Amino acid sequence: MKRLSAALLVSAVILQALVLYASVLPLTRHTPAFIGEDKVLHFAAFAVIGLLLALGSAAGGRGYLYAGALLSGFFVSVLSEVLQKWVPMRRASFYDALANVLGLLAVIAVYEGIRLWRRGGILYAEVLAPPPKGTVDNETKSAKNS
């Protein structure tokens, strides 16, 4: 598992380095295929980074890896936008950084939801589902005791 964790985290770092490199290249003229194409690409790139970070951190089995992975994704997101301020034909954009962070967080949230669901710890199963037939829940017990 540690080799898998290391491979996934190294892949995430390489992808983050590629994103940083691409963000400091001057742009050429480009006509977007649709409105918001730029934001979708930002979201998708950081969703892939988020998935690699989540899988690598979970395979490593340590909580601090997870926190570090999230921080590194957030840091690269903000840094890539700040660096663009000094690149010709580029501009720093709060909305690009927001799309980056949302892509990162969305994939990690989905990953964690699936992980909880697979372990049987999802909220619905524990709180919202009715108790199995033949069992008495705490509210029924307290009502009978009153």
Question: Could you report the average pLDDT of every consecutive run of 10 residues in the chain (146 residues)?
Answer: 79 89 82 81 90 78 69 88 86 90 89 78 53 60 56
Task: Output the pLDDT for position 99.
Answer: 93
Alpha-helical runs (H) found in the chain = 2-23, 37-60, 63-83, 94-119, 123, 138-145
Task: Output the pLDDT for position 143.
Answer: 56
Number of domains observed in the structure of the chain = 1
Task: Output the pLDDT for position 113.
Answer: 82
Task: Output the pLDDT for position 132.
Answer: 62
Task: Output the pLDDT for position 134.
Answer: 67
Spatial distance between the Cα atoms of 24 and 59, rounded to a whole number of angstroms: 32
Task: Output the pLDDT for position 1.
Answer: 63
Q: Which domain holds residue 128?
A: 2-145
